[in-house]
Homo-oligomer: A and B are copies of this chain.
Amino acid sequence: MNPDGPLVLIVEDEAPVRLFIRASLAAHGFRPIEATTEPEALAMTDRHRPTLILLDLDLPAAQGVELVRTLRGSTKAPILVISARGQEDDKVAALDAGADDYVTKPFGVNELLARMRVALRYATTIDEPRKATAALSFGGLRIDLEQREVTSGGRAIRLTPTEYRLLVLLAQNAGRVLTHRQIQEGVWGAGHADQPHRVRVYMAVLRKKLEDDPAWPRHIVTEQGIGYRFREASSA
């Protein structure tokens, strides 16, 4: 096992799945540690400070979502939630509670590893360059937080206050999934999280202004039934 690999806590009560994940991670340079219950997960987190946490929502007593909340209070490590099909509500609740991303069972090893890498990349880029980030850059897109200016490929983009706020929220959580609720609370404040329609309208506007081809967005990605995700432009 790679002694320098990222420490990953697996919270999973079903032994076969746990073993499968452990083997997969170990084979790819991670150092897996394990927990099967809520208190165990908390103890492991406090003691070993894992770099990333994999959490199956199918925990006994359905305490998964609460566990996410508790963990989020004690660590900044990215939390990836594993949920079964048809568990959409739990998944959204877990994200609302602070999870960073999700994987749906059944999943392939490569999918899981890819998600983990993305989560780790963004976690470290947020944490490491403690130097003041006056601007956010994603490929040709640049957001100047001081001047409150957005440029795409050099040309300036005019955004209304709400549009700007939404974009900044997305960009600052690049790589993460943001639920409808999180987006609305972030843009309109708490207590205004019941009109997902508005969000869609603004997403459409942002895409039209930012994306080269709004019908095939490269930055603003829809997560069906969950919310949206901002990512760096992929190689088209």
Binding site for B on A (CB under 8 A): 27-29, 84-86, 105-106, 108-111, 113-115, 117-118, 130-134, 136, 144-147, 149, 156, 161, 168-169, 172, 185-186, 188-190, 224, 231, 234, 236
Among A85, A110, A117, A185, chain B packs the most CB atoms within 10 A around the CB of A110
User: Please, which residue of chain B has its CB at the minimum distance from the CB of A158?
Assistant: B216
Q: A85-B189, A189-B105 are in contact. Are A134 and B146 (CB under 8 A)?
A: no
The answer to whether A27 touches B149 (Cβ under 8 A) is no
The reply to whether B145 and A114 form a contact with Cβ atoms under 8 Å apart is yes
**C-alpha spacing A198/B49, complex, angstroms:** 45
A85 and B188 contacting across the interface, CB-CB below 8 Å: yes
Instruction: List 15 A-B residue pairs with CB atoms under 8 Å apart, sorted by A's residue number.
Output: A28-B132, A29-B132, A106-B189, A108-B169, A108-B172, A110-B136, A111-B145, A114-B134, A114-B145, A117-B134, A117-B146, A118-B146, A147-B234, A149-B234, A161-B224
Knowing A114-B146, A118-B146, A172-B110, the reply to whether A130 touches B28 (Cβ < 8 A) is yes
Complex contacts, A133 vs chain B, CB 8 Å: 110, 113
